[in-house]
Each structure stands twice: as C-alpha cells, then as structure tokens.
Amino acid sequence: MAPSCTLNRYLLLMAQEHLEFRLPEIKSLLSLFGGQFASSQETYGKSPFWILSIPSEDIARNLMKRTVCAKSIFELWGHGQSPEELYSSLKNYPVEKMVPFLHSDSTYKIKIHTFNKTLTQEEKIKRIDALEFLPFEGKVNLKKPQHVFSVLEDYGLDPNRIPENPHNIYFGRWIADGQRELIESYSVKKRHFIGNTSMDAGLSFIMANHGKVKENDIVFDPFVGTGGLLIASAHFGAYVYGTDIDYNTVHGLGKATRKNQKWRGPDENIRANLRQYGLEKYYLDVLVSDASKPSWRKGTYFDAIITDPPYGIRESTRRTEEACSFPDNLAFLKFHVPVSLSYHLSDMFLDLLNFAAETLVLGGRLVYWLPVYTPEYTEEMVPWHPCLKLISNCEQKLSSHTSRRLITMEKVQKFENRDQYSHLLSDHFLPYQGHNSFREKYFSGVTKRIAKEEKSTQE
C-alpha cells in the first residue's frame, strides 16, 4: 500500500459462527479488493467487534458483497471503554467528515446494538439522548432513513458473567451488511439435487472466499459430488467445472438421498442445481473421472481448485482399476464401475497438491478439507508442495477426537516438471501417512474409549 494513502477506521460486526474461518476470509477478501490486511488491524480473537483500517468505503462495500463471516460494517466515528471515553472520542472525530450525513435535508435513525446483554427500551432511549451533542440537523425517520447510525456495546463473551457496564462502546455510520442471507437462500434443505455429503451452504461460500474466487474465473472441483462447491463459486461469477469417480452422481442417477423419495428424479443433477439459482450460464461441465489419474494436457487452467475429498466415512475413497484387469466381455464396465481399490488418504492429498501445482495459474488457490485424528495431529502433517504456499489452516471439530481442517494454499512458483517432485512421494515427506488409518480410527471405537477414559479420570 502506498505510504501516502490515508486509512479510515471501520468497525466490522462479525458473526459468532465458524470463528477460526473468519480472519482468513476477511484477509483473503481484502487482498482481492486492494485493502491489504495490516498487522495493526484490531481483530480481538473471538470477539464479534473488529476494527479495520482500510483506504476507502468502496473496499468496505466490496468486502460486504462477499463476506458470510461478517454481519455488518460501520464507519467508525468513536470508540471508548466507558460512555465518557466514547463521547470524547466522538468530539475528536473531524466535523467535516460528519457533516455530509447530518445536514438539515437528511433523514436519520440511531440504533442500539448490544452483544451479550439485552437492554430495556428505556435504557436504549437514554443512550440515544446522550448523543445530543452531535451536530444532527436532519429529521429522524425510523422507517426509511437515509443514514443509519449505531451505538454498539460489547459485554464480553461469557454469558455466565455479564458485566454491569460494557467493556467497549462504539459509534459508527452503518455502511453495508454482509451476505449472511445466502446461508438460508442456498440451504441444502431446499436444494434440488443433494447427496449424503453435500457441502453446507455457509461453508461453501467461506471456501470460495478463502479461494479468492472472482468474476470470470475458472474454478474446478475434482471431487465434485453434487456440486455444492461449484454453486458457491458460480454465485460469485466464476465458470465452474467438476469431476467425480461416481457415474451415478455425475449423471444424477440411482437412489435418492431424501427420506421420502426412493430414486433420483429425471432432472436431479448439478446443472439443474445451478439453474435453480439462476447460475446455469456458469456451468462448464462435469465428467466422470478418477482424480488419481487426471486426464489433462499440460497447462495452467484454473484460477482456483476448491474441493472436499472423500475421507472414507460417508463415502469410500476409491480409485479406478486398470482397464486390463477386466475380462474382454466386461471391458465396457471400466467406464462405469470404479473398483474399490484403496486410495490412501496421503496419496490422495499428494496427488491433489501435485495437480494443483501443475494446473493452477500463478497466484491461484487450492482450498480443501483435510480430515485429522486430533490426538495425533501436528502441523507438520499438513501436506506441502514447493510450488504452493500455505495461507491458512482452520479447524472444524467433527467429534471429540476427529476434525477436519480447511487448508488454503496459493501457487507461488511455476511448476516445472512432475519428476522433479518425485521425492515428495518418499515416506520421509509424508508425515500425513499415519492418517491413512483415519477411517479405522473413526470407526474402531478408539474415539469412544478415549472419551470414556477421559471422563473417568475427571470424575
């Protein structure tokens, strides 16, 4: 950022969900819109109130057109740890920055927002009256005001120890809301074509944001399933493409996932899903293909690869059998029937990283879920590749001893020659190998046993 550039302070009101995913989302989006994330940003860990210093309101508006982790953004006029501190901070805010929003022809409304405490109507009115010293000249309009101002009070995170007075009080001009409503409007519950592992709508949008997906990008999902991740990318204007080893999934055939329906209907497929949301024009294609044997010519095709590989829990991890092992009279099956050859998770992730390193454009991102058995997890287990830089690694707990980690990597170096990276295949370079037994550990009862032991030592 140019040193002469003046930064304005904005208050972000974050959603209290998927806490670990919030910072990488905001950082990724800011870098997409030219508002670098400086280390001086005040993000307050788990708190819903973050202060951002960014160069322009345009960047703030662009950020809110994409985020599902933030609820709203405000131009911050004042901040304090007591009402007195807030008022003196407001008195120091330059009047020339306030005037355009307070003049006599304008209409406005002041809202009170509290976190971890509910105020009575009387208490709210008191707070509004205390702001009389601000040079408001416009008329109050509660239904359709031109400008909305908010007092935001933060009573901390502990619902069992709510303080009498707020830890922090903010006052700001509301600028825009985020895209939280997408979580409802794209809910899997209302989706035409779904499967056992269809990705939750909120997480799909977070993944597309971590992947910095933008208009006219080409986004690929090599384990496409019912295409949940393609939908989120298409919503942000990217052209989408996917492959899956399962013939029935790609062609929308076979048993339905919904309880009250036996077979999938004639139009239950990924294309119809995109059509349901008015996004069909972004559909490139989906093919039956095995991710362990990519059939791509050498080249860089994708701006982002966003995917949820199988862990072997609700769907098997499979690779196709070599064609020669089918007898002649069954040779046609090789196109339709993936043989359940075990596809070790470590091989699958190594293939995925190699494929991303080869086919992503420089600066393009790979976003994927890595399942881990938490008692054994260490950061060294996260697969790496010399062409890909780790951007973020966020945990989502699945059970007391298992979780999945959302890994985001960026291509920072040109891929030269596959052979050059063959050393990555050696055991030494695969600390994730222990996790090949993720499925066994998940089902073995180890998880339950440890939880039981832990409970008995606590008693």
* Spatial separation of the C-alpha atoms in residues 459 and 456, rounded to whole Å: 5
Can you read off the two tokens belonging to residue 101? 């929003």
Contact flag: residue 268 with ligand SAM (CB under 6 A): no
Q: Which stretch in 14-22, 72-80, 244-252, 356-364 sits in contact with ligand SAM by CB under 6 A?
A: 244-252
Give the Å distances, CA to CA, from 293 to 9, 10, 55, 319, 422. Answer: 50, 48, 46, 8, 16
**First CA to last CA across the chain, in angstroms?**
56
* Spatial separation of the C-alpha atoms in residues 159 and 229, rounded to whole Å: 35
Indicate the residue among 37 and 343 with the shorter CB distance to ligand SAM.
Answer: 343
Minimal distance in Å, beta carbon 72 to ligand SAM? Answer: 29
Contact flag: residue 345 with ligand SAM (CB under 6 A): no
Contact flag: residue 317 with ligand SAM (CB under 6 A): yes
Q: Which residues pair with 49 in a beta bridge?
A: 13
Strands 388-397 and 318-319 come out as unpaired
Q: Specify the 3-state DSSP secondary structure of 186.
A: coil
Minimal distance in Å, beta carbon 290 to ligand SAM? Answer: 5
User: Which of 217, 290, 347, 410 touches ligand SAM (CB under 6 A)?
Assistant: 290
User: Which of 149, 343, 368, 432 touches ligand SAM (CB under 6 A)?
Assistant: 343
Site string for ligand SAM, 180-209 (x = CB under 6 A): ---------------x-xxx----------
Contact 67, 180 (CB under 8 A): no
Contact flag: residue 242 with ligand SAM (CB under 6 A): no
* Spatial separation of the C-alpha atoms in residues 60 and 54, rounded to whole Å: 8
User: Which of 173, 319, 411, 439 touches ligand SAM (CB under 6 A)?
Assistant: 319
Rounded (10°) CA dihedral 352, 353, 354, 357? 120
Contact flag: residue 302 with ligand SAM (CB under 6 A): no
Minimal distance in Å, beta carbon 89 to ligand SAM? Answer: 46
Q: What is the CA radius of gyration of the chain?
A: 26
Contact flag: residue 310 with ligand SAM (CB under 6 A): yes
What's the distance, CA 52 to chain centroid? 19
Q: Specify the 3-state DSSP secondary structure of 97.
A: helix
Minimal distance in Å, beta carbon 327 to ligand SAM? Answer: 23
Minimal distance in Å, beta carbon 343 to ligand SAM? Answer: 5
Contact flag: residue 408 with ligand SAM (CB under 6 A): no
- Could you say which residues in the range 120-179 bind ligand SAM, by CB under 6 A? none
Indicate the residue among 75 and 246 with the shorter CB distance to ligand SAM.
Answer: 246
* Spatial separation of the C-alpha atoms in residues 288 and 245, rounded to whole Å: 5
Minimal distance in Å, beta carbon 111 to ligand SAM? Answer: 37
* Spatial separation of the C-alpha atoms in residues 281 and 120, rounded to whole Å: 50
What are the residues binding ligand SAM (CB under 6 A)?
195, 197-199, 222-223, 225-226, 228-229, 243-246, 249, 290-292, 308, 310, 315, 317-319, 343
